[in-house]
Structure 1
């Protein structure tokens, strides 16, 4: 079915200075999530397993438990994005993340390790990214897809710059010192800049008192989807039909990154060589994210949903079939394309299907599910590794899962078209 334009998408040059500051604030928040992201924590995998005498499966199991704990908390805390000012909530999340990195620098036993990992995942991967992307989806209308993709570039910058640097820093100064330094950077460098960029949010008291109007607000400045509360969404069969496939990228992408040392050993790749190719991942994310953001604004997120899982299928097949060193950039490029599509497409999808009135509470459900998926992926893969099937053999099953949901999303397109038309 060919794509059809749903509304004109104004050029990025039409963005005002205030809007640009809001997007930069969102990008800074997503970049600040890195200490809670798997791509960051995975660089400490070998050091932590050695410190606490853990196998791949044991550490993967602990990581799964910690991430599930963070996802449980996110279900309840995520609705704060509907009730608290963004600036106050984002600062609280950032300070919580900084405190947790200092805890990681001191952790000395496994129960404390689980607690620290859970807090990293809750404040970083969970709340800070949830608050940033919810704000972009709520504040923007005609620019929603591009605002989400541009704000999501913070993830990409972190993924591009940190893995190799972390590997070298851990070797030079030790893993505890690196965690302590991370907390210092968050407080000294990130916090003041975040306060500056978010000082004039469109839904804040300062903006209202000055009579400022969000230049990309919804028509009549009215939130849509007032009837779609979180309990109603939970009773919607369409929500449950969409969610499992959307959980694929965080589950599969996370397990491939988390167990990169195991995959590299299977293929005969040097781990430093593997992390050297991370800029390929980042370049693919940027390309897919910017392209998807523009397409979301032009055609709607629901039309693009089937394409999210196609590059991930190719990544799984690469992990299953290929062994030469050139397979590393191919694998990372496919992962990057899928990752780049996820944020603008799924970030805008929930606003298209359920409106913006209760977007924070609804997105909290989704974010918690994605966090849980990112927990189950490494844990399941680690357990299977300990039982016998290595990651290259597991990848066949992951590819099949992706293809199944691509076909289902294609079949659901008429339903999605009717739902978005009714909301609009």
Structure 2
């Protein structure tokens, strides 16, 4: 940990940029958008289930657009890509706040999911994976602290803002905040990240060929399911967490306090994950990091008291905390960094799709009358299969060139 502190001190300016991007990505993440679900559903006279379907459609649309733009971080200057992404995220947020027709909600949600959850996270992880080699784990783990910071700070602030004003002003205010960040970005020197840029823009045909070769490769069938499973499970549970709390008869206030424990655990294991990746390699960590979340689902299913929720949230924090560092680092280890932006965009697409399918499928299970125990055990079984599949990584050779 001492080496980690020295590393952060020596690279703080570069690392803080990555942290800021993951922090700002919060405005397109499920946990913040979920704050607006009730108000938007009531104002547009739709059910929360219908809003969930709209959300799923927009998320899937955003994931496919991601394939066409994710490669830009490989060959366009980091400042240009980031500026355009933040500007689009701000526009999407303001559009949501000003929308008086459901069509604009569609457009706004696609923008939030594409630029927030998708591109800002993608830019941060890609440039740090390319720039750092021996300390890649530490760099990415520091960047992922932006996710935890957003989870701790922004829900409280936006909830208060919505209470004082309304959801529209909260959306517009978020957009204005993002525009203000662009002023700071204008004076930020990011030329050091441009040293890793590829020459020339890939053609559409070459991208299709690259994506096809990745999907048909054994490595993809080992790496993708685990990434998909985490996003699928965590998003679904968080999206319906207070539905589960109500059905279980637990105290919402106590559960909310436990959720803070999740955020703190995620933060701590974001740091630990970076140290362990640099020490043991992402390839070794990949085999085991899904296990805590898997065991947490078992506790949620079998323990009727709210203690089950506490165990689940803490174990989820362990897996989610390490996941950002491990998932980004292993792509660089296995594939190398030359086309890392395009490769990450493909994996990000499947991750984003999973965040749409998770709430949709679990919502259908709830509507069909499945018990919480059955839902959690189903997710547990799914993750067990993914853990077993992850063991196949032992037979995969790492890339000879990572930088």
Which residue number corresponds to residue 394 of structure 2? 414
**Secondary structure of residue in 1 paired with 2:18:** helix
Per mean C-alpha deviation after superposition, the further-off stretch among 234-243 and 77-86 is: 234-243
Instruction: Name the structure 2 match of 1:400.
Output: 381
Structure 1 residue aligned with 2:191, among 201, 204, 212? Answer: 201
Is the deviation greater in 23-32 or in 102-111?
102-111
For 1:201 and 1:16, the matched residues in 2 are separated by: 19
Shift of residue 315, structure 1, vs aligned partner: 2.8
| 1:2-151 equivalent positions in 2, closer than 5 A | 11-12=3-4, 15=7, 19-151=11-143
CA distance in 2, matches of 1:78, 1:139: 17
Structure-1-length-normalised TM-score = 0.86
Instruction: For residue 100 of structure 2, give the secondary structure of its aligned residue in structure 1.
Output: coil
CA RMSD across the alignment:
2.4
1:253 is aligned to 234
Deviation at 1:200, TM superposition (A): 3.6
CA deviations over 1:116-149 (Å, ceiling 9, x no partner): 1111000100011101110110010111011000
Q: Please give the alpha-carbon distance, in whole angstroms, between the structure 2 residues aligned to 1:46 and 1:280.
A: 25
**How far apart are residue 63 of structure 1 and its match?**
1.1
Query: How far apart in 2 are the matches of 1:119 and 1:294?
Result: 34
Shift of 1:88: 1.2
Quote the offset at 1:153 in angstroms: 0.4
- Using the TM superposition, give the Cα deviation of residue 391 of structure 1 relative to its aligned residue in structure 2, in angstroms: 4.2
Match of 1:263 in 2: 244
Distance 2:401 2:347 in 1: 19
Specify the SS of the correspondent of 1:191: helix
Indicate the residue corresponding to 2:269 in structure 1.
288
Which residue is equivalent to 1:223? Answer: none
The runs of 5 or more residues in structure 1 that have no matched partner are: 1-8, 209-213, 215-227
Kept in 1, the 8 Å contact 2:300–2:311? The answer is: no
Distance of aligned partners of 1:203 and 1:139 in 2 relative to their CA distance in 1, 3 Å threshold: same
Name the SS of the counterpart of 2:191 in structure 1. Answer: coil
CA distance in 2, matches of 1:195, 1:315: 44
**Displacement of 1:403:** 1.1
Instruction: Give the Cα separation in 2 of the matches to 1:184 and 1:421.
Output: 43
In the TM superposition, what are the counterparts of 1:265-344 in structure 2 within 5 Å?
265-344=246-325
- Are the counterparts in 2 of residues 10 and 142 from structure 1 also a CA contact under 8 Å? no
Counting only pairs closer than 5 Å after superposition, residues 315-394 of structure 1 correspond to structure 2 as 315-394=296-375
Mapped partners of 2:250, 2:175: distance in 1? 32
Give the distance between the partners of 1:13 and 1:318, measured in 2 at CA.
Answer: 35
Q: Deviations over 1:164-217 (max 9, x none)?
A: 3333332332211111111121122x3333444x4143144xxx7xxxxx9xxx
Q: Where does residue 5 of structure 1 map in the other structure?
A: none
Preserved contact between residue 293 and residue 312 of structure 2 (Cα < 8 Å): no
Q: SS at the partner of 1:152? A: helix
C-alpha contact (below 8 Å) 1:60/1:383 kept by paired residues: no
- On the 8 A contact 2:333/2:399 being kept in 1, the answer is no
Q: Give the TM-score normalised by structure 2.
A: 0.90
For 2:237 and 2:373, locate their aligned partners in 1 and report how far apart those are by CA, in whole Å.
Answer: 10
Counterpart residue number, 1:192: 183
Question: Compared with structure 1, are the counterparts of its residues 263 and 54 closer, same or farther at alpha carbon in structure 2 (3 Å cutoff)?
Answer: farther
Distance in 1 (alpha carbons) for counterparts of 2:371 and 2:277: 38
Query: Cα 1:96–1:230, aligned 2, differ >3 Å: closer, same or farther?
Result: same
Aligned partners of 1:330 and 1:46: how far apart in 2? 28
Structure 1 residues 274 and 176, CA, compared in 2 at 3 Å: closer, same or farther? farther
Runs of 4+ more than 6 Å apart: none
Q: Deviations over 1:308-329 (max 9, x none)?
A: 2112112322332334344443
**Which residue in the other structure is 1:241 paired with?**
222
- Unaligned 5+ segments in structure 2 are 197-208
Mapped to 1, the partners of 2:234 and 2:125 lie a distance apart of 20
CA distance in 2, matches of 1:274, 1:91: 38
Distance 2:10 2:257 in 1: 37
CA distance in 2, matches of 1:383, 1:255: 11
Give the number of equivalent residue pairs: 391
Using the TM superposition, name which of 386-395 and 371-380 deviates more. 386-395
